[in-house]
Structure 1
Amino acid sequence: MDQQNSVLVEHENTHEVVTEQTFHTQCPFCSMQCKLKLVEQSSGAETKNKVTGQKNPCSEGRMCIKGMYAHQHVFSKERLKYPLLKVNGEFVRISWEDALCQIKQHFTDIQKVDGNHGIAVYGSASLTNEEAYLLGKFARVALKTKYIDYNGRYCMSAAATAAKLTFGIDRGFTNSLDEIPFAECIILAGTNLAECQPTIMPYFIKAQKNGASIIVIDPRETPTTKMADLHIKLKPGTDAALANGLLKVILEEGFVDEGFIKNRVNGFDEVKEYISAIEMREIEKMTGVAGEEIRKAALIFGKAKTGMILTARGVEQQTDGTMGVCGYLNILLSTGKIGKPFCGFGAITGQSNGQGAREHGQKADQLPGYRSIENEEHRRYIADVWGIDKDELPGKGVSAFEIFERIDAGEITGLFLMCSNPIVSSPNAQFVTEAIKKLRFFVAVDLFISETARMADLILPSSSYLEDEGTLTNLEGRVTLREATYPCPEEVKHDWEIICEIARALGKGEYFPFSSPEEIFNELRVASRGGQSDYYGITYDRIRTTGGILWPCPDLVHAGTKRLFETRFAHEDGRAKMIIVPNHQNVPKEQPNFEYPIFLTTGRVLAHYLTGVQTRKSPSLVARNGEAFMEIHPETAMKYNLPDKALVKISSKNGSIIVRSRYTNGIRKDTVFVPFHWADTQNVNLLVSSELDPFCKMPGFKMTAVNVRPPVGNTSI
């Protein structure tokens, strides 16, 4: 419960009344979703805030510096507090009534000319489950457009697609976090947990104390690799080949669980035949990793009685990301390390609600409950829940980046953007900028005037994590409840309220009658019932009692599902499916060459989150990292005459940026690293190509061919 107390404090012979208020919430950043308590003390004109972590099943009361200082962006003077309409190139304040009239007029005009699909909806994995669900319903019922996708497409789509292909279902973890300390071997592939999800680290520290071997696969040395028993420093973009190499050793050394394969897996013989034909020297050449090192890692994992493999963006944000993850899942299946205690797969979700936000209708091909929009039975069920005819539901749309390609082609002329910053987060970012300029009407919903929102015709102010109540689903698949009762400033509204009000303005109010997040969640529960991500047995009261429930949870007496696949997989025949991962077809088309001889890879730093729209408004976080930088090996830097701490121009065939160099011996000599939290001339995604994974449409953020040079007039600082 949130509390307010008045406390009498004696201070220099005066009596001063200090008002103290307590607000419970969850961190808005990573998928650990740490529980937080904000204590606000007010005395006269002065207000002080203190944040502490609160006990919960996932982070157990821990928090990192991002959570500690998240409230600073909420109280930023740059916070949006009322609707803004662009008039003659400048934003002017208007009323909510006028804002809704603008939307009604422009969206109606666009659809009269360009049809229902003339408008696209672009969502966010930072939305609550209720808001993600409502946004999908809004697109398909209020706007009747097929074009909806979200920024999570750039996050976990490769892992989600691979899990669906292999297991038949996608949940972030196939087991729960509390099993990690008891696994004998853990592979962390392409994940820098110590900076991206710091509060998860004690699970791995406990595992090491229990004797576990930890193998980290990453082109860079990071705070995460420092705890590794073995660090494999592969070339960027070669994870699929490395996974094949590990599997080859496992097969040749006889670490296959024959009984598990026989009873529970399809496709093993075909994969074995393919892997047997690959030469290890071919894998060595592709990955830049010695065969003995690959062998060592495979033997450690193969000999372990229990083991887990966790992947993240380093593997997934590739144009062969789906196949890369499938390669690691092949290893798990071959050794039988899935569906058993202390064994399993984990896709480390990036955004706070990266799991839940894709389960209930924001993805182009999905309906609530992880149902398929192309399945007639699924369409019928959701149409009945929504009170419409199934034939009124539009079909499958396109992925996030492909939406901007449709905008550029003139097929989409209106855009409704909610809590995302695609000008910074998208590949080929300059192309996205130019596409957005072609829109006839663009509405953005955000906390701030982000780099993308500043291009909008209309901006609507949304609420923050301190103010917006709702459920979120963490990296395990645990549904949690964010209690958020801090009052919204001035004319700010919750995202769910904004969606409902626009729907009413468009004449669809009967489908959006909600007056609270809990009402929306109760409809979501019904919509998800019987689907793969079944939330029907989860209620606000049950979450408050338990601290969170792992889906699927089909009824009100079900305790939730801590471990998937104990007896069967989610394919119709109950068996998993191993997938052949080709070594050559999946190599990114863009490789280093004479003009662009260096690999560029990207990632996060501890103090910032995604495109930095929120964290760059927190002074305490900006003080830790105020600008982008380029990590480069000193020998590589000397080759290109680049001093340490000097401004550097990085160019690819798509564009160029200027950042500051940072020497490190902890990166491959053929690779540089730039974090992606900054915009404009420091936006690293200006360099990334438009090439997409053919299965999940993930861009190849983690491997771009670049050159590095001093910019004109550069001096060392």
Structure 2
Amino acid sequence: MSDLIKYFREKQMKESSEAILHARCPYCSMQCSMELIEERIVKRNRFKAKPNKQDPTSEGRLCMKGLFAHQHVINGERLKTPVVNIDGEFVSVSWELALEVIAEKWQDLQAEYGKDSIGVYGGGSLTNEEAYLLGKFARVGLGTKYIDYNGRFCMSAAASAQVAVFGIDRGITNELSEIADAKCIILAGTNIAECQPTMMPYFRKAKKNGAFIIAIDPRETATTKLADLHLKVKPGMDANVVIGMLKVIIEEDYVDHSFVQERTKGFAEVKEQVKTVSLATVEKETGIAQADIEKAAREYGKAETGMVFTARGVEQHASGHQNVRQFLNLVLATGKIGKYACGYGAITGQGNGQGGREHGQKADQLPGYRSIENKEHREYIASVWEVDESELPRKGVSAYEMMEKIDEEEIKALFVMASNPIVSTPNSLFVQKALEKLDFLVVVDMFISETAKMADIILPCTSYLEDEGTMTNLEGRVVFREAERKAPQDVKHDWAILCELGRALGKEKWFSYESAEEIFNELRLASKGGVADYYGITYERIKEEKGVFWPCPKEEDNGTRRLFESSFMTTDSLASFTNLEFQYPKEAPSKKYPLVLTTGRVMEHYLTGVQTRRSHDLVQRSMDAFVEIHPNTAKKYGIEEGKLIRIESVRGTAVVKSRFTEGIREDTIFVPFHWGDLQSINRVTSPALDPVCRMPEFKVSAVSIRPVHQQQKEEEKKYKVLTG
């Protein structure tokens, strides 16, 4: 018996192996690096993620999403071949046939309806190389002006505000390490503890060092618990709170006069405008006591160092651009920018939300953060791409407006890569009906997402473990993502798919790359001289230096770790104050829709959940969507805890389970947006758009609520009346 046991143990050891894969989490903008240990024991694989202690951003931390990210890669639902929709069923086909059908259909549509009959919809999770190439593919491969991406719903408000005020948009103006020495920190509309958990220790260090932390949020969250002062603002009233704070800062003279005089413009007008602001009115409109507004202003104003961070709670409004600009007024008035432990940060949501918006996915942008309407910018990019400037399309429209163009049947075909617009877009029932009008829909994804279900063809792509390239994290640090796991045989990288499509369209000259690094070197040249200048960044430098900060115009440059130390990047080197304008949501509660719905994220899931809902450990922790509701509100509407309730707006209905909490305002409910179908809260949300950046108003929608069983009883009652 002992010999038999020994034999089987020796056989097991021979059939066992261990591989260590160097990887980078595919989810949030921290872009934490790790080692993924893959053990093969007989015929079973076992994985264990281990954080990289040398990572300068995460400092050796990894959250639960990163720990279990590999699970979606090995999920059995993953697509392994191209599939074609035949009479409602997806059938596997060869790449040759799929590419041939796509090219022929696109060419036929463009011949009949023009080049702009095809739209391209990208994503903020693509590598820099793939984001760059997707923009080039739209404009050179297809010649269409219609390209935008899901980052429009993430960073557009903060990006446009920073460009208007500072002349440049980089998520955070300083290194994260400086947070520890900020003496006052404002966290506005951001739940970092759940959205970027590995960033939280920076704020805990600051608090330990004596920082006064102010949180502005209509909910109590794991992040607000860290705060010394929590301003539980009415949704959509953030800008008005800040205007009240600015009044106190100016009238009690916490202003850095030398900074304002030497490095800004527009302050005199703002100083006059604050005289007309009534703090009593601000209190009434925002729900924040005047004393708390004054305390927040004084703490931030008197602090020697300070930082302001905003996220989607401030930005996802039809007034998002102006909301952010009011916060930037605070920063400028106190001179807390361009110095150690003083700055502003827009907490980027998606893994490459920063890099993804710099190199050409946005409707109005060319690589390097150039403007597609600027002749000089167009001519430079045309020279890099070896096309005539006149051949480049002009500006298109934003992501949601593309859906309107589809509904109007101006866009006949849509190419979607790294996104799931049926779940991520507001007013999603309208979006679904619009997509049904398409003549042709092609989706690139690892899984059959809610959007991919509607596709004519789905092309399978590689995962984060298989697809190397660069990402730009929330600090503006360009990092390298290794890809040491072999991809399934018939699955291709996103950049390789774009090259294959380019060849199928007869555009091989412009899409003949052999590696991600080759694409990056062209990106460097395309960005040269632009606002987002990557020219001095090379793969070798990124690997050796553990990331390089942009802008970095020359290889001998160290990169820019802290922005605006001596000047801003505007044409006159000055930062601009903006007028004080009270902001209000486009939709107010009514008798029919008496509550305010706001949306957000939970720690266990990412974006529309296409990947995280296929990681069983994450699903076990958070299986279904839910609505946070105050017990008093629940009682008023006959809601029982843990029961299904129907949330309804003028646009549509969602059904989720109730979750009671006293940590939310009684006039507000909260639902995360990671689920599809009837649990998709974006069936309800408002598509009102910001006039500057075209950000939709996800954070404020007027809704009604009622128990699902109540509606069933009402329908039964109606049925009995009708049938006698």
Partners of 1:698 and 1:324 in 2: CA distance: 12
Q: Does 1:543 align with 2:579?
A: no
Equivalence for 1:50: 48
Q: Within 5 A, what are the aligned runs for 1:600-639? A: 600-639=597-636
Report runs of 4+ in structure 1 exceeding 3 Å deviation: 8-17
Which residue does the alignment assign to 1:184? 183
Q: Write out per-residue CA displacement over residues 435-474 of structure 1, whole angstroms, 9 at most, x where no aligned residue.
A: 0000111100001000001101000001100000000000
The aligned residue for residue 696 of structure 1 is 693
Kept in 2, the 8 Å contact 1:9–1:17? The answer is no
Confirm or deny: 8 A CA contact 2:609 2:674 kept in the other structure. yes
Q: What is the match of residue 439 of structure 2?
A: 440
- Letter of the aligned partner of 2:630 in structure 1? H
CA distance in 1, matches of 2:263, 2:48: 52
Residues 12, 41 of structure 2: 8 Å contact kept: no
Supply the AA of the counterpart residue of 2:333. Answer: S
1:525 aligned partner: 524
Question: What letter corresponds to residue 26 of structure 1 in structure 2?
Answer: R
Residue pair 1:22, 1:38 contacting (<8 A) in 2 also: yes
Q: Deviations over 1:116-152 (max 9, x none)?
A: 0000000000000000000000000010000000000
Deviations 1:587-631 (A, max 9, x none): 122011111111111111110001000000000000000000011
Counterpart for residue 37 of structure 2 = 39
Q: Provide the C-alpha distance between the structure 1 equivalents of 2:580 and 2:391, rounded to a whole number of angstroms.
A: 39
Letter in 2 for 1:691: A
**In the TM superposition, what are the counterparts of 1:300-379 in structure 2 within 5 Å?**
300-379=299-378
Shift of 1:9: 11
Report the TM-score when normalising by structure 2. Answer: 0.96
Alignment partners' CA distance in 2, 1:34 and 1:257: 37
Q: What is residue 459 of structure 2 aligned with on the other side?
A: 460
Q: Distance in 1 between matches of 2:418 and 2:565?
A: 38
Could you give the per-residue CA deviations for residues 194-226 of structure 1, whole angstroms, max 9, x where no partner exists?
000000011011111111111111000000011
Q: Deviations over 1:70-109 (max 9, x none)?
A: 0000000000110011111211111000011111110001
Q: What is the rounded CA distance, in whole Å, between the counterparts of 2:148 and 2:79 in structure 1?
A: 25
- Is contact 1:196–1:604 with CA below 8 Å preserved after alignment? yes
Task: Tell me what 2:575 maps to.
Answer: 576
Letter in 2 for 1:675: P
Task: Give per-residue Cα distances to partners, 1:460-508, cap 9 Å, x unaligned.
Answer: 0011000000000000110000011211113110000000000010011
Matched position secondary structure for 1:308 = strand
Per-residue CA deviation, residues 607-657 of structure 1 (Å, 9 max, x unaligned), is 000100000000000000000001111111111111111111111111111
Cα distance change on mapping 1:350 and 1:435 into 2, 3 Å:
same
**1:533–1:552 contact (8 Å) kept in structure 2:** yes
Whether the aligned pair in 1 keeps the contact of 2:160 and 2:692 (CA below 8 Å) is: yes
For residues 94-109 of structure 1, what are the structure 2 equivalents within 5 Å? Answer: 94-109=93-108
Structure 1 residue 14 displacement after superposition: 6.9
Cα gap change, 1:73/1:569 in structure 2, threshold over 3 Å: closer, same or farther?
same
Distance 1:14 1:608 in 2: 37
Equivalent position amino acid for 1:21 in 2:
A
Shift of 1:243: 1.2
Provide, for residues 406-453 of structure 1, a one-character-per-residue CA deviation record: whole Å limited to 9, x for no partner: 000011001110010000000100000000000111100001000001
d(CA) in 2 for partners of 1:210 and 1:297?
Answer: 19
**Distance apart, 1:712 and its partner CA:** 2.8
Q: How do 1:651-666 residues align onto structure 2 when only pairs under 5 Å count?
A: 651-666=648-663
The amino acid of 1:325's aligned partner reads V
- Matching residue's letter, 1:284: E
Deviations along 1:385-424, whole A, 9 cap, x unmatched?
0001111110000000000000000110011100100000
> Aligned equivalents of 1:15 and 1:95: distance in 2?
38
- Distance in 2 of aligned mates of 1:197 and 1:14: 41
Aligned residue-pair number: 706
Q: 5+ unaligned residues in a row in structure 1: which ranges? A: 1-7
Q: Which residue of 2 aligns with 1:675?
A: 672
Question: Which residue identity lines up with residue 32 of structure 1 in the other structure?
Answer: M
Q: Which amino acid in the other structure matches residue 635 of structure 1?
A: N
- More helix by proportion, 1 or 2? 2
CA RMSD of aligned residues (A): 1.3
Q: What letter matches 1:334 in structure 2?
A: A
Give the secondary-structure state (helix, strand or coil) at the position aligned to 1:649: strand
Is residue 468–residue 494 contact of structure 1 (8 Å, CA) maintained in 2? yes
Give CA-to-partner distance per residue, 1:364-390, whole Å, 9 cap, x none: 000000001011111010000000111
Taking a change above 3 Å as real, the CA distance of residues 709 and 542 of structure 1, as seen in their structure-2 partners, is: same
Cα deviation digits, residues 541-585 of structure 1 (max 9, x gap): 1011111011001111111101111111111110000111411xx
Counterpart for residue 67 of structure 2: 68
Q: Which runs of 5+ in 2 are unaligned?
A: 1-5, 713-724
1:143 aligns with 2:142: yes
CA distance in 2, matches of 1:262, 1:442: 55
Q: Give the letter aligned to residue 659 of structure 1.
A: V
* Separation (CA, whole Å) in 2 of partners of 1:349 and 1:708: 32
Provide the TM-score with structure 1 as the length reference.
0.97
Q: CA distance change for structure 1 residues 401 and 9 in 2, over 3 Å: closer, same or farther? A: farther
Instruction: Look up the match of 2:704.
Output: 707
Change (3 A) 1:482 1:143: same
Q: How does 1:208-607 map to 2 (within 5 A)?
A: 208-583=207-582, 586-607=583-604
Answer yes or no: is the 8 Å Cα contact 2:24–2:482 preserved in 1. Answer: yes
Further displaced range: 127-136 or 47-56: 47-56
Q: Distance in 1 between matches of 2:360 and 2:12?
A: 58
CA distance in 2, matches of 1:490, 1:580: 57
* C-alpha contact (below 8 Å) 1:155/1:313 kept by paired residues: yes
Query: Secondary structure of the residue that 1:672 maps to in structure 2?
Result: strand
How far is the alpha carbon of 1:275 from its aligned partner? 2.2
Deviations 1:292-342 (A, max 9, x none): 111111110001011000000000001101111000000000000001111
1: CA distance between counterparts of 2:13 and 2:378? 66
Task: Indicate conservation of the 8 Å contact 2:686/2:700, yes or no.
Answer: no
Question: In the alignment, residue 50 of structure 1 is paired with which amino acid?
Answer: K
Distance 1:405 1:491 in 2: 35
Letter in 1 for 2:198: T
For 1:88 and 1:640, the matched residues in 2 are separated by 44
Which residue of structure 2 lines up, in the alignment, with residue 650 of structure 1? Answer: 647
| Distance of 1:638 and 1:9 partners within structure 2 | 67
Q: Does the CA-based 8 Å contact 1:428-1:690 persist in structure 2?
A: yes
Q: Which residue is 2:684 aligned to? A: 687
Question: Identity percentage over the alignment?
Answer: 58
Letter in 2 for 1:106: K
